[in-house]
Structure 1
Amino acid sequence: MTTIRDVRAQLRRRLLISYRVDPEVAASLLPAGFRPRIIDGSAVAGVCVLGLESVRPSWSNSRRGLRSENAAHRIAVEWDGPDGVEQGVFIFERHSSAWHPVLFGGRLFPGVHRRARFRIEESGDRYALTMEAAGRSLTADVEVVGEWSSTLFASIDEASDFYRSGRVGWSPTRDRRRVESVALASDTWKVEGARLHHLRSSFFEALPAGAAVFDSVVVMRDLPLTLSDAGDRRDAAVLSPAGT
């Protein structure tokens, strides 16, 4: 059943920045019931940066809506579901430039968000961004190019399949006593390889030295998407994210 917590939006740009993370360090960041998804001996974590426009309730026929910049620090995870092992991501924290997800996230809007200031410079296929929030910062400079490399994924198609399998994201509720799930879906899905010119993340820099190493970045652009309350809640002792 569609609720007001289901929203539609147009994705202007999505940067998916991935790190290889030491599995033991990754496991220490997760609440009980979740374990890191291991690829080639490493956990896979990163930052998802989304530029959204036309954000509106899914039942609205209007193409008009709100606009926002958003960032989510997350890790690929698996957990035991009723039908076997399931896969998705655990989101340590979300940040947004807009007031609506900060005020209503976890209530009327999918997922709890914190307020942040974003500065985005877009020039053709190049995206330079800065995010500043209480206790958290991120800078990245990414360019969509034909060349692409990764030690985690053998090809862009393999990376695309991996990111698509993480459509369900778990994150702490406002009181941090439970975790809740949000699903991201799109009728179209296209991933492009990109090159990183610069990256600094206070989240990953707060981990033990050498525990997190940048691997690769891909970009998604100009796609419709839906964010939905997946309707699942569970009790969890949610651990503090890195650097807090």
Structure 2
Amino acid sequence: MRQPHLSSVVERRLLVNYRVAPEAAARLLPEPLRPQLVRGYAVAGICLLRLGRVRPAWAPGALGLRSENAAHRIAVAWDGPDGVETGVYIPRRDTASRINAWAGGRVFPGEHGRADFEVRETPGRMRVALATRDGHTHVDVTVEPADELRGSALFTGLAEASRFFQRGTKGFSATRSGHHLDGMELRTDAWHVDAGRVHAAASSFFDDPNRFPPGTATLDCALIMRNVPANWHPLPTMPAS
């Protein structure tokens, strides 16, 4: 069955980014993916995403759904038919939505686990916390808007960071079978991100010393996207090993 592309509004997309030792990131990637390096580091992070008006592209926005979602990501490169391509590998997707959890991997690409979210947002601060139903993953992040991107060892400023993530909108997700990756691409004509300052961040994924030995994953920066219309297009599956 051909999977439809989806329309939505990205009400809030919070990217909390880590700089990672390349060898630590490479251990987590299936072939044919390899870490995409910036200034000698791999780039990984957590995308905390609230989508609104999600529906098939042919349906009116009033029929769309709203949901809180999370994706753990690693920026990757691979060899395509026309040269090197870039995007992200997503070892784990989670959602508060029963519909997303059922439809992911069936109606649209991307298998989702279930998670409970706690969200508190004011104009000057946003906190997003989640705990997955299987007990394997928890996240608790507080970010404040900032005028500039400061303190990043990955990016010289907001413009460079924005360009990097705008080029990495193809996402390939792990599947239960382990034999292929599901693909989805974010497309928008209204790309815009703002800088954030991380007030606090805890992640069982990045804080796990078995996955990331001490010193191999360091919190780097945060970016905020708000109220951006976006379409999500299925990509051909990628064989993986």
TM-score interval w.r.t. the shorter chain? over 0.9
Q: What SS does structure 2 have at the residue aligned with 1:24?
A: helix
Amino acid at match of 2:39: D
Deviation readout 1:134-172 (Å, 9 max, x if unpaired): 210000000112142111111111000001111100112
Aligned length: 235
Corresponding position of 2:160: 158
Q: What SS does structure 2 have at the residue aligned with 1:162?
A: helix
TM-aligned CA deviation for residue 174 of structure 1: 3.6
TM-aligned CA deviation for residue 32 of structure 1: 1.1
- Within 2, Cα distance between the matches of 1:153 and 1:173? 31
TM-aligned CA deviation for residue 4 of structure 1: 4.6
Q: What SS does structure 2 have at the residue aligned with 1:205?
A: coil
Is the Cα–Cα contact under 8 Å of residues 109 and 182 in structure 2 kept in the other structure? Answer: no
Q: What SS does structure 1 have at the residue aligned with 2:110?
A: coil
Match of 1:177 among 179, 194, 209: 179
Amino acid at match of 1:178: H
Corresponding position of 1:38: 37
Corresponding position of 2:111: 112
Corresponding position of 1:146: 147
Matches within 5 A, 1:94-105: 94-105=93-104
RMSD: 1.4
Identity percentage over the alignment?
42
Corresponding position of 2:65: 66
In the superposition, the TM-score normalised over structure 1's length comes to 0.93
Is the Cα–Cα contact under 8 Å of residues 110 and 227 in structure 1 kept in the other structure? Answer: no
Match of 1:234 among 234, 238, 241: 238
In the superposition, the TM-score normalised over structure 2's length comes to 0.94
Amino acid at match of 1:28: R
- Within 1, Cα distance between the matches of 2:176 and 2:142? 32
Deviation readout 1:63-110 (Å, 9 max, x if unpaired): 331110011001000000000101111011111000111011011023
